[in-house]
A and B are shown apart, each in its own frame.
Chain A
């Protein structure tokens, strides 16, 4: 019952965000600022994670396919698993952990200090002021982050293939190239944007509905990252089913 109520509230919230985003003048400067902040601040960590996920992908693929005598499948495996699935979901996880939790905690702090009420009393729409720039920023930036993550992942998988596993690098890259189509990249980008919009909506919602006190801010931040992760994982299946099923 409570869950349903929250779900309803979230629906109203998302509706207001979308409506506010379209009925007001676009906050261009602040959107760019947010996009830059989300993009640049999440980038180092994303590169590190993409790198190590790539190395692991190659390592595990190799171990799994070796008994079948199909080491050449490795390139294909990295191409399919990495580009289509891992990169988008990893970007989502990282952005939700970094930018999403930040949004949730910032907005939650503003909520408990009555700053959001203050915005409303000053007749400044808090949705337009706080959510719209973040929303547009994240949707703009996530596809780009996804592509960067894909490149990093393939690069690090190549490194492991050549230097740790001692397999030839040329055929590996050729296989990656052959299995990855433009559509795959596009779908990955779309996934990124879609996950981004969910992460932003969920995180901001958790911030807006934060319980009082420092513990409340912690709980709101906590809920933001868990709910975003679950949403993205489930959403990922449906997008993959539609795109590749």
Chain B
């Protein structure tokens, strides 16, 4: 019972924190250059992992897809499946998982270490709003970087599929590219971008919230990082279902 109560309190704390951050994001003049710096760090830190994960995922997709389509003699439609799956689900979800794992955990670690080393307190004592200078730029960076990484992941996923289908399994190159857009529309990529913007916001807020309230020395920072990844991944997998229902399902 106490635990449940703690959960509710945590939810309340997260809500207040998010409100305060979003309010500052849209209504104050927060340091843009810091935001750009964070964006650059986040994008460069995550780009390689995103490619390294979406590429093999695309390869597996083609591998398994070919099996189904061979049964129906419809191999030429393989790239359509790759397109739909990558644009709608794989790239957005994998890009978000990696932004959470790489960027989110880095945010939690940085902000957590700042809390432990009393840097946040020092900022406040100097009369500077720590949310504005430390938190908002990071959340903004996550909001923008995640959709960009989604696009990177989409390209890399399709390339992975292409490698297996065309190079390893000898499907025709022209057919692969011609059918890529047979089932998917540009709208699918747009949907992915919309989703990942939401996911990016969730990750940024959860990570900075966990770091901001870290306590208990180095171990506390480790816990904050751990919690961040778990909470961020869970909440956007759930959000993903509702967003997918809204975008594509007839509900």
Contact = CB atoms under 8 A, between A and B. Distances in A.
B189 interface: no
B85 A60 contact: yes
B226 interface: yes
A237 B59 contact: yes
A185 to B, nearest CB: 16
Interface stretch (A15-23, A28-36, A192-200, A213-221): A213-221
A183 to B, nearest CB: 13
B235 to A, nearest CB: 10
Residue of A48, A56, A218, A237 with highest tally of chain B CB at under 10 A: A218
A105 B112 CA distance: 13
A214 B60 contact: no
Interface string B214-244: 0001111111111001100110011011001
Interface string B78-107: 000100110011000000011011100110
A220 to B, nearest CB: 8
A234 B237 contact: no
A: contact size bracket: 35 or more
Contacts of A55: 241
B117 A59 contact: no
B238 A52 contact: yes
Contact of B97 (A62, A67, A77, A229): A229
Given A52-B241, A101-B105, A222 B225 contact: yes
Interface string B43-81: 000000100110011011101100110000000010001
30 contacts: A45-B230, A45-B234, A53-B237, A56-B240, A59-B244, A59-B245, A60-B85, A64-B85, A102-B222, A104-B222, A109-B219, A109-B222, A112-B218, A113-B218, A165-B249, A214-B116, A214-B220, A221-B226, A222-B106, A226-B102, A226-B105, A229-B49, A230-B53, A233-B53, A233-B56, A237-B56, A237-B60, A240-B60, A241-B63, A244-B64
